[in-house]
Amino acid sequence: MACWILNEKLSVLLLLVWLGLNLYLFIDTFHWYEDEDAYVYTRIMLGSTLAWARASATCLNFNCMLILLPVSRNLISFLRGASACCGGAPRRQLDKNIAFHKVVAYGIAVNATIHIVAHLINIERYHNSQSKEAGGLQNKLSGLGKRPNESYLNPIRTYETNTTGEVLTTIAGVTGVMITVAFVLIVTSSTELIRRSCYEVFWYTHHLFVVFFIGLIIHGTGQLVRGQTPHSLLLHNITYCKEHYLEWEKATQCPLPQFSGNKPVAWKWVVSPVVLYICERIVRFWRFQQEVVITKVVTHSSGVLELHMKKHGFKMEAGQYIFLQCTSISPLEWHPFTLTSAPEEDFFSVHIRVAGDWTAALFKAFGAEEKTFKELWMLPRLVVDGPYGSATTDVFHYGVSVCIAAGIGVTPFASILKSIWYKSCNPNTVLVLQKVYFYWICRDPSTFEWFADLLFLLETKMVEKGKNDFLSYHIFLTGWDENQATHIALHYDEKMDVITGLRQKTFYGRPNWDSEFKQLAENHPSNSIGVFFCGPKNLSKILQKMCSSYSTVDPRGVQFHYNEESF
């Protein structure tokens, strides 16, 4: 536990700050509405649910201010570059931007629930205040506004009013329903199951955030909650008058109280992030207009499509990712893919595996299923947004880095290892990185096809430079049939591996992570080791646990810093 806190201390601190700010805003607003003289008469009708509704509204505004910031890709990339001199911890927090986005969404969900329930109770209490059983003062307050020069406090004007119909005809009611429906659709479509199986549903419903923010800004203009005006408070002695409400207008110290609604404040909270996000979308639109030239298309036997592209002014770092759009498939959908090329190459590339309707349509559009490829000029138009920084770009900042990939999750490390190869070829380049451990877990032997050539080149180059120990790679094959097993057994004693053609033999089965991390800790007893992973969530949890278990509390000992590639 101590090691986990040591590794995640900044994440824990930021979470506590966020929770603390929410708690402070809630308690401060709650006490203000419970104690403020302007709302004495409002509290007589509504009780404490007035404070519950307003406190949750403040927290809603605060979280709605934050929700767009983690998904502003260009802002995150800028902050990532600005934090390059601050060590790895701030950058690791920026890599958790989507996790923070989800946490803020949960905060919105909790406060929205409190806000809705409290206001439903408030409406019912407003309605009941019109009944004869409510009592004298409540009847007196509910009757205000029926004569000229009077302002009302109770928005429900008669006991016969249909409260549901009344709510749905007000600005606050209509926008409240609009906000709630939009938010529910956004949250429910964001579940792991829907994102994996029906990405388009997730993509389209997430754009209901436009409806959500428009509704949020308009919502407060309904001014449903009303309080006594400052001028009325000076003339109307509340302490005396609330006990002598029958003397209102008769006694000079008890003129009729005047009421007004709260001015809308939600726009003040969200205007800055909304403007920032609009700028973000303008940048993306500008990139949308830029031409992308496809220079090469390769289909691998493992069902992977390789695309080489060029774009004017495109500059990348190893391990970064881009968003691709194919306008002939969908004019709105963008999908993230890690770059597999190195910055030193004169093109940029991605490797795409079929994993849904969009990628299947892309394969078909590029003629990957046909025997002969289409001419390059006949290919559909691709649009590129990016590149953007990711966790794996920090590989070069550690003396020792451990790169772990599962299946197609190897793509970010293709770029990293290519860049290492180019840097090793350049005698003027000094690498901070002194040791790389590379683990690749794969189910299908054909998947090794396109990546084995890169490993072979890197392996050869390190031997030439006398750096045999620079790269230690461990390839694990988890699936094979009987014929493949026989072939492997017959050629096992050969110098080169029968599967990959490399000097390092392929392992069969899954790695024992306990023994692997124990060995890493023994090999580097006083190092900060960067662990970088791209693959499924269940394996990510195991690796994160390993990093915490084998890190020492003593900062002079071995420290494993976990970095996960996520979009």
In tens digits, the chain (567 residues) has pLDDT values of: 544 555 667 788 899 999 999 999 999 999 999 999 999 989 988 999 999 999 999 999 999 999 999 988 888 888 877 655 555 667 777 778 888 999 999 999 999 999 999 999 998 888 888 887 767 888 888 888 887 778 888 888 787 777 777 777 888 889 999 999 999 999 999 888 888 777 778 888 999 999 999 999 999 888 888 888 998 888 888 888 888 888 787 777 788 888 988 888 999 999 999 999 999 889 888 888 888 888 888 887 667 888 899 998 888 888 888 999 888 888 878 888 888 888 888 889 888 888 778 888 888 888 766 666 667 777 888 999 888 877 777 888 888 889 888 877 777 888 888 887 787 777 777 778 888 888 888 876 666 666 666 677 777 767 777 666 777 888 887 766 555 545 454 445 555 554 555 556 667 778 889 988 888 888 888 888 888 888 888 888 888 888 888 888 776 778 888 888 765
SS3 418: helix
Biggest CA–CA distance in the chain, Å, is: 109
**Helix then strand then coil, % of the chain, to nearest 5:** 55, 15, 30
- The residue assigned the tokens 């990546």 is 451
Q: Where are the beta strands (DSSP E) in 447-506?
A: 471-477
The residues, ordered by sequence, that sit 6+ positions from 328 with a Cβ below 8 Å of its Cβ are 365, 380, 381
User: Looking at residue 374, what is its pLDDT?
Assistant: 66
467-490 residue pLDDT tens: 667 778 888 877 665 555 454 544
The residues, ordered by sequence, that sit 6+ positions from 258 with a Cβ below 8 Å of its Cβ are 151, 228, 229, 231, 232
Domain 391-564, CATH number (from 2.40.30.10, 3.50.50.60, 3.40.50.80, 3.40.630.30):
3.40.50.80
CATH superfamily, with its number, for domain 291-388: Translation factors (2.40.30.10)
Residues 245-268 as b/e (b if ≥16 CB within 10 A, e otherwise) read beeeeeeeebebbbbbbbebebbe
SS3 390: coil
- Reading the block at residue 423, the tokens are 């840097």
Which sign, positive or negative, has the C-alpha torsion 108, 185, 537, 533? negative
